[in-house]
Amino acid sequence: MSDKQKGKFEDMAKVDYHSKIQEHPGLSIGDVAMKVGEMWNNTAADDKQHYERKAAKLKEKYKKDIAAYQAKGKPDMAKKRFVKAEKRKRMKRKKIRKMKRMRKKRKMKKMNMKRKLW
């Protein structure tokens, strides 16, 4: 699934951007983007129709993808939360066991120290 919907200008810019970089290697990225933007603004409406049709097709595909994604629902997220909660519980139990072992070690160490003193 695509991250976001693409526009007409982005489709044209993708092609022209690389050609402008090759034509003018000394220009910065921002300058090249400005040149491509100027080209888009100066392009006739008839020439833009190709990109507009392509963008319309991509928009329909995007809408279908979004609808399919939303129809799938969120049981995966509920499962993910459950798994995270279980992991958190395990880690908490592990930490508690570790603390108990440390307390027991300290207690034994104290007892051994007392025995040595006698």
Give 75-103 pLDDT, tens digit per residue: 666 677 788 888 999 999 999 999 999 99
**Residue 68 shares a structural domain with residue 41:** yes
Counting the structural domains of the chain, the total is 2
Same domain, 53 and 83: no
Claim to verify: residue 36 and residue 46 sit in the same structural domain:
yes
Q: How many CA atoms lie within 13 A of 109 on its CB side?
A: 6
Query: Which two structure tokens, joined as six digits, stand for 60?
Result: 């329909």
The token pair at 96 is 């508690």
Give the contacts of 1 (CB within 8 A, at least 6 positions apart): 65, 66, 69
pLDDT tens column, 24-69: 778 787 887 788 788 888 878 888 888 888 888 888 999 999 898 8
State the pLDDT confidence band at 1, using cuts at 50, 70 and 90.
very low
Q: Residue 115: give the domain boundaries.
A: 75-118
pTM across the whole model: 0.46
Q: How far apart are CA 48 and CA 77, in angstroms?
A: 42
Average pLDDT, whole number, for the chain?
A: 80
